[in-house]
Chains A and B, each alone.
Chain A
Amino acid sequence: MERVPIQLTVNGQPYQAEVEPRMLLVHFIRDVLNLTGTHIGCDTTSCGACTVLWDGRPVKSCTVFAVQADGGEIQTVEGLERDGQLHPVQEGFWEEHGLQCGFCTPGMIMTAVALLQENPDPSEEEIRKAIAGNLCRCTGYVNIVKAIQYAARKMRETAPATAGIAGGE
C-alpha cells in the first residue's frame, strides 16, 4: 500500500516517517516509535487505554490515523517525567494506590493530566465525568479519583511552575 510521509513531535522529539494512510496513531506510537506505554484495550473507542494528548487535548489514539496527526504534537505517558521528577499525576497514582495491573494506567494518567490543565480544582463528580471514557477493571475507580485529587492538590501548591505539561519546548 502507498505510504505517506508525516512529521510530528512526540514528547518533544521530532519524528519523520512514511506510513500507510490507514495506520492508527496508536500503532505508530507503539510499533514504529516503540513507545509501548500507550496501550490497546478495545476496538470500539470504548476503553481509553490508548489515550494520549494531541496538541494538549486527550484523544483515543486508536481512533486517530497517524496521518491525521501530521504536524501535531503528541504527548504520551513516557513524556511526563521531567528531570527524574515524576509528574504530580504519576505520583498521585503511586501514592493513592490508583493502579493494580497498570494496563489502564497510562491512559488514565493522560486523561487526568488533561483534566487538571483545564480544571485545577475538580470535584469528585467532575473527575468521575472526565475519566468516564477510561475503563479500569481492577481498581473500582475510588483510588483513581483520590490519585487525581492528590495531584490537583500538589499542582495547586506548586503552581504555576510545574502545573500541566509544557507542550514541545
Chain B
Amino acid sequence: MTTTPIRGLGHPVKRKEDPRFIRGKGTYVDDIKLPGMLYLDIVRSPYAHARIKRIDASKALAMPGVVDVITGAELEKAGLAWMPTLMSDRQMVLPTDRVVYYAQEVAAVVATDRYTAADAVLAVEVEYEPLTPVLDPFKALEPGAPLVRPDREQKTNHIWHWEAGDKEKTDRIFQEAQVVVSQDLYIPRIHVCSIETCGCVVNYDRATDKLTIWMTSQAPHAHRTVFSLVSGIPEHKIRIISPDIGGGFGGKVPVYPGYVIATYAALKLGKPIKWIEDRSENLQADTFARDYHIHAELAATRDGKIRAMRVHTVADHGAFDAAANPSKFPAGLFSVCTGSYDMEAAHVAVDGVYTNKPPGGVAYRCSFRVTEAVHTIERMVDILADELGMDPAEIRFKNFIRPEQFPYKSPTGWEYDSGNYPATLQKALDAIGYQELRREQAERRARGELMGIGISTFTEIVGAGPSHTFDILGIKMFDSAEIRVHPTGSAIVRIGVQTQGQGHETTFAQIVAEELGLPVENIIVEHGDTDTAPYGLGTYASRSTPTAGAATAVAARKIREKARLIAAHLLEVSPDDLEWRDYAFRVKGAPDRFKTMQEIAFAAYTNFPQGLEGGLEAVCYYDPPNLTFPFGAYVCVVDIDRGTGQVKVREFLAVDDCGTIINPMIVEGQIHGGLTMGLAPALFEEIVYDENGTMLTGTFMDYLLPTAMETPHWKTDKTVTPSPHHPLGAKGVGESPTIGAPPAIVNAVVDALSHLGVRHIDIPITPAKVYQILLEKGVAE
C-alpha cells in the first residue's frame, strides 16, 4: 500500500494555493508588468443621460508622457464602438453621440505611467448637453417616457416579457382560495465589490501575431470566443489568462468596455497596455446585481397549506441588457421561487426595463436570480404565517416537499434532485434551542425588549447546466477536465473552470486523489489559461463542482478503466477478475494480490500490454443531466436597540446540505463567506442614485461592506443528502448562504416587531429605517 495518505473526499486538506498567497507571492492582474507597458485610464461621464457635443483631447495629448486618447468616433471606424452583451443586446464600448449612465466610459487615455494617465483624464474636455434621465423603471414604462435606447428599433424602454408556470390554473386557485396574502418587495441594486477590482494587461506580439490578455475573468474561454467573434482575430491567436483573481462573485463574468479598449490600444500602439480600474469606477460603472421590484401573492387554505403562488416582477436592467444569464433565461432561474414548498400551481412573470443606470444584472454570489426568488418565497411564507397566526417553523413543516416526493417536479418545471427538508430544519431548531428562544422572546417582550427569531429554509438551484437548456450565446454550458498521470505516479489536472478563491487547486486534486488512489500532494491542478486548459464555461453560479467536478471524476474513472487493463496485464489475470478497492486493483478473492495506481502508472509508460496505447490520461467534457439543488435551514436571532434602531445579529446558525462534501474545511469557509455576503445586503448595502441619476454610494465610504465588527461569529452544521445524478453526489455550496441568509435576517427583524403590526421591511434594514418604524409605533427610546 502507499505510505503517503491519499486524503481524498471528506478530508480537511489544507489549501494548496495558500503558500503563495500568505507570502504575498500571488500573481494578480495588477502584479503583471511587461517591458514598455503603457497605462490606460478612462474618462467617465458626470451625467446619467446627455448628448455629447464635443470631445477635445488636444490639451491631454500635449502633456508629456501622454501617448494617445481614444474616443468612440475612432472605435466606430474600427467597428468597435459597440459590442454584444451576453443577453443578445448590444452595449457601447465608447459612445459616439450620447451617454446613458453616470460614470459611463467616454474616452480613454494612454500614457507612460498611471499618474500621467490620471492627469490626462482630467485634461480631456467633453462638452455635454444634459438630457432628462429615466431612473424609475415604472415611470420608464409610461407612455411618453424619454427613451434610454433610441438606437433600438423598438421605441420603448421595455426590453422583454418572460413567464413561467401555469397562469390559468394559478388564477383559478387564487379565485377560490380561502386565504390570500400579498406583498410588494424591493430587492435593491447592490454590487459584488470583490476586493480586487477589474482590469487587464494586454500584449500583442507582432512576431508571433499572438494576442495575450491577462484578465480578471471568471470565464476565460467564453471570453476568448467573444473576443474572437467581436474582433475577427482567429481564436487560436488569442490567449486569455485569468491569473490569481481577488474575488469574483459574478462581477468578473461580463466583458467590460475597458477590456475592449485596452485590447484595441495594444493592437493599435504595438505596446503592452495595462488597465486597472479603481474602486470608485468599479462601484459606479461595473455590473450591478438584483434591482427587482417584486409583487408576490400566496394562496392558501385556512389551516396553512399553500396552494399557489403568483409573482410579477419589474426588473431594472440599466441602460443595456448586459446580464450574465444563460441565454434562454432572461430572468435567470427566478422561477424557482416556489422554494422548498409543495404547491399545486405557480405563475411567475418578469418584465425587463431599461433605465439610465449602469448595465448588468449579474449574480452577487448567487446562482442566476435565485436570491431574489428565495427572498420572495421565504418572506411570503412568514407573511402567511403571520396572517394565520401560525409559527414560522410550523408552517414550513406543513408545506415542505416531503423526502419521498423527490425527484420533485416543481410547478414552474424544475426537477429537484434530492432533499430532506424536515430533517434539516429539525436539526437547526434543536441545535439552536428554538422553543427556549421563543420563551425568552416572550419574556423580553413583556419587558418591552425587541428580540426576533427568523427562519429561512431555502432551496438553491445550481450547476448550470444541462446543454439541452443552458447555453451562453449558443455555447453549451458543459464543463471539462483533463488528467495526465506521470510515470512516477504524480498527476496534472487541468479544468475548464477557474478559481477566484474557492480552492479548486485543492478540491479538484482531492477528487482525483480519491478516484485514482494517488496522494493529494502529488496532484497539481491548473486552470485559467485558455492555451492549456480544456474549454469550459467558467466559475460562477456554484457550477464548478456540479459540472467540472463531475468531469474530473469521470475523467479519472476513464483512467481507472485503462489502469484496470494494465493491472490485469501485470498481475496476469483477466481484467474481470480485478476489483478497485482500498485505492488499488485487487484480485477478487485474493485481495493481497494488487497493483496500486503508482505501479500501474509506471507500467503505462514502461510495460503496457500489446495492443494498448501507452500513457495514462483522459479528458471529459461533462454535460450534467440536471441541475443540483442544495438546500439548508438557517435560524437567526436578533436584538433591536430601541434607542438607535440598530439590529444586532446575536446568533446565526446555518445548517447546510450540499450533498457529498469534498473538503469540509473549504465548505465551511465558503459558508462563512456566503453568510457574510447575505448579511451585507440584508443590513448594509444598497446602491443609491439621486434624482439626476448620480450615484451617491460610489466609494467604500458610503457603500458599506461589513467588517469583522458587524459580522457575527457564524455557526454552521450540516446534513448530507447526495445528489443522485452527480458522480460524486456533490451539489455545490458557495452561494447557498448568500441566498439563504437575507430572509433569515429579515424574518428575524420583522419577528421582533411583529407584535407592533409590522409585516415586512425592505432590505437593507438600516438603523434609520428601523428607528422610523419604532417612532411610528411609539416604542422608540
Same complex for A and B? Answer yes
Q: A residues bordering B, Cβ < 8 Å?
A: 20, 22-23, 27, 30-31, 34-44, 46-47, 49, 76-78, 80-81, 86, 90-91, 93-95, 97, 99-106, 109, 124, 127-129, 131-145
Contacts of A37 in B (CB 8 A): 23-26
- The listed residue with most B CB atoms (<10 A of its CB), out of A23, A42, A46, A93, is A42
In the complex, A152 Cα to B634 Cα: how many Å? 32
In the complex, A128 Cα to B712 Cα: how many Å? 10
Known pairs A101-B500, A128-B709; list 18 more (Cβ under 8 Å): A27-B114, A36-B24, A37-B24, A41-B196, A43-B278, A77-B23, A94-B14, A97-B666, A99-B18, A101-B245, A102-B26, A128-B708, A129-B708, A133-B707, A136-B708, A137-B192, A144-B708, A145-B713
> B33 contacts A100, CB within 8 Å?
no
- The listed residue with most B CB atoms (<10 A of its CB), out of A49, A80, A105, is A105
> A132 contacts B707, CB within 8 Å?
yes
- Closest 6 A-B residue pairs measured CB to CB? A37-B24, A103-B246, A101-B501, A102-B21, A140-B672, A100-B501
Known contacts A37-B24, A101-B247, A102-B18; is A135 also within 8 Å of B194 by CB? no
> B709 contacts A142, CB within 8 Å?
no
In the complex, A77 Cα to B25 Cα: how many Å? 9
The listed residue (A44, A80, A138) touching B699 by CB distance below 8 A is A44
> B22 contacts A142, CB within 8 Å?
no
> A44 contacts B700, CB within 8 Å?
yes
Per-position 1/0 for B102-119, Cβ under 8 A of A: 000000000000110000
Contacts of B709 in A (CB 8 A): 128-129, 132
In the complex, A127 Cα to B707 Cα: how many Å? 12
Known contacts A100-B502, A101-B196, A140-B714; is A46 also within 8 Å of B672 by CB? no
> A93 contacts B700, CB within 8 Å?
no
Known contacts A49-B195, A77-B23; is A103 also within 8 Å of B711 by CB? no
> A105 contacts B676, CB within 8 Å?
no
The listed residue (A22, A38, A106, A135) touching B705 by CB distance below 8 A is A135
Known contacts A41-B279, A97-B15, A101-B245; is A81 also within 8 Å of B23 by CB? yes
In the complex, A7 Cα to B14 Cα: how many Å? 40
> B700 contacts A94, CB within 8 Å?
no
> A102 contacts B701, CB within 8 Å?
no
Query: Is residue B550 contacting chain A, with contact meaning CB distance below 8 A?
Result: no
* A127: nearest chain-B partner, CB-CB: B708
In the complex, A95 Cα to B13 Cα: how many Å? 10
Contacts of A42 in B (CB 8 A): 278-279, 699-700
Q: B residues bordering A, Cβ < 8 Å?
A: 14-15, 17-28, 30-31, 33, 114-115, 192-197, 244-249, 278-280, 500-503, 665-666, 668-677, 699-701, 705, 707-709, 711, 713-714
In the complex, A35 Cα to B666 Cα: how many Å? 29
> A137 contacts B195, CB within 8 Å?
yes
In the complex, A124 Cα to B708 Cα: how many Å? 10
In the complex, A80 Cα to B193 Cα: how many Å? 29
> B672 contacts A142, CB within 8 Å?
yes
> B669 contacts A100, CB within 8 Å?
yes
> A124 contacts B713, CB within 8 Å?
yes
In the complex, A142 Cα to B19 Cα: how many Å? 20
Contacts of B27 in A (CB 8 A): 36
Query: A77: shortest Cβ distance to chain B, in Å?
Result: 4
In the complex, A98 Cα to B676 Cα: how many Å? 14
Contacts of B503 in A (CB 8 A): 100
> A142 contacts B196, CB within 8 Å?
no
> A135 contacts B665, CB within 8 Å?
no
Query: A148: shortest Cβ distance to chain B, in Å?
Result: 10
Known contacts A99-B22, A103-B247, A137-B195; is A40 also within 8 Å of B501 by CB? no
In the complex, A12 Cα to B616 Cα: how many Å? 49
The listed residue (A39, A129, A134, A140) touching B676 by CB distance below 8 A is A140
> B14 contacts A34, CB within 8 Å?
no
In the complex, A143 Cα to B115 Cα: how many Å? 37
* B703: nearest chain-A partner, CB-CB: A46
- The listed residue with most A CB atoms (<10 A of its CB), out of B197, B247, B249, is B247
Contacts of B502 in A (CB 8 A): 100
> B24 contacts A137, CB within 8 Å?
no
> A103 contacts B705, CB within 8 Å?
no
Known contacts A94-B19, A101-B196; is A143 also within 8 Å of B669 by CB? yes
Known contacts A43-B280, A44-B279, A142-B714; is A102 also within 8 Å of B699 by CB? no
The listed residue (A36, A46, A101, A143) touching B700 by CB distance below 8 A is A46
- A sample of 13 cross-chain residue pairs with beta-carbon separation below 8 angstroms, ordered by A number, consists of A36-B24, A40-B30, A42-B700, A46-B700, A78-B23, A94-B19, A97-B14, A101-B244, A103-B194, A133-B707, A137-B194, A139-B673, A140-B676
> B23 contacts A101, CB within 8 Å?
no
> A141 contacts B699, CB within 8 Å?
no
Known contacts A39-B28, A41-B279, A46-B701; is A137 also within 8 Å of B249 by CB? yes
